[in-house]
Amino acid sequence: MTDQAILVTGAAGFIGFHVARQLLAEGRPVVGLDNLNSYYDPALKQARLALLRNDSNFTFVEADLADRETTAALFARHRFDKVVHLAAQAGVRYSIDHPHAYADSNLQGFLNVLEGCRNNSCRHLVYASSSSVYGANTKLPFAVQDRTDHPVSFYAATKKANELMAQSYSHLYRLPVTGLRFFTIYGPWGRPDMALFLFVNAIMAERPIRLFNHGKMRRDFTYIDDVTRVVSKLIDRVPADDPAAANAPSKVYNVGNHHPEELMHVVGLLEQELGRTAIKELLPMQPGDVLETFADVEDLTRDTGFAPSTPIALGVRNFVTWYRDYFKV
């Protein structure tokens, strides 16, 4: 008997929380899994979970996907029809100093999810990839068909590995898989290691904000509510056999705002919302970083009739409003 509940991994994380909340709002039962690790303040994860627990259709499981036996038992018990895999060790810079954390979570953890899906008749696995797979590509905008075999960080390498692992399982076992290459997601309840969060923390504390490549960078900032809408639309859209994917039921999409923003412009919006001037520390380019990201979302728009489009000024205002409310500042 398959479980009508959708499994959302990383449910206490930034994107996982929002996706779980969206699915619950649609009346879908959700089993949320998270290992509640201390990569950043677990209190923020607990606060997100507390909101999800207000819904009687939500069940929480604290577990580590890298634990093979626990993961296998969870899948065998629930036999999930649909899985949204958003649990991962995130962060480009952290991966340079802590590569093993990425191998455990992003490789071993993902393999255990694939095995759980394969062995329990899952009908669709939607999983998070990243715009970082494009590496230092200079052709803009980044299109799904572009080469992605030159990662410039170990984090990016694990995300590309996820795409290849999913493709192989799709081909071998007819497991329908959809990979989402996320572009710089931001918004309320965000991760404290992400640029907007770091900038607001620093501006409020009157500390310098660190701007790499002397602030001359562009990012395709993508608002979280647009991301949840994409996942909601795609979860029921099971991929057909794709000639471009060796006739496997496998698909990959870019999920981005398709409108890169100058980093200095975003800092200016934050200054405006906070009513304070940032102290700017201009630094050279960091290892593992790229100058610009820009999503080609033509495939996504064609298949879902939707593309992210929240203006950066509105998204920044919503983030600052949430920040002030959450931290009472």
Tokens of 112: 């255990």
User: Angle, to 10 degrees, between the axis of helix 312-327 and the axis of helix 263-274?
Assistant: 50
Which among 181, 172, 31, 195 has a CA at the least distance from the CA of 114? Answer: 172
**Token digits for 24?**
């619950």
166 with 174: CB under 8 angstroms? no
Q: Is 8 helix (H, G, I), strand (E, B) or coil?
A: strand
- The residue behind tokens 């509510």 is 225
Report the candidate in 132, 162, 163 with the shortest Cα–Cα distance to residue 150. 132
| Angle subtended at Cα 28 by Cα 22 and Cα 33, rounded to the nearest 5 degrees | 75
- Bridge-based pairing state of the strands 261-262 and 218-219: antiparallel
Q: How far apart are CA 19 and CA 15, in angstroms?
A: 6
Q: What are the C-alpha distances in Å from 12 to residues 52, 86, 191?
A: 9, 10, 11
Q: Is the dihedral of CA 32, 36, 91, 314 positive or negative?
A: positive
Is residue 172 helix, strand or coil? helix
Residue pointed to by tokens 């000024």 = 313
Q: Mark out the alpha helices in the chain (DSSP H runs).
A: 14-25, 42-52, 68-78, 92-97, 99-102, 109-119, 154-173, 195-204, 224-234, 263-274, 298-304, 312-327
Residues composing the chain:
329
Give CA–CA dist 10/189, Å, rounded: 14
List, by residue number, the catalytic residues. Answer: 155
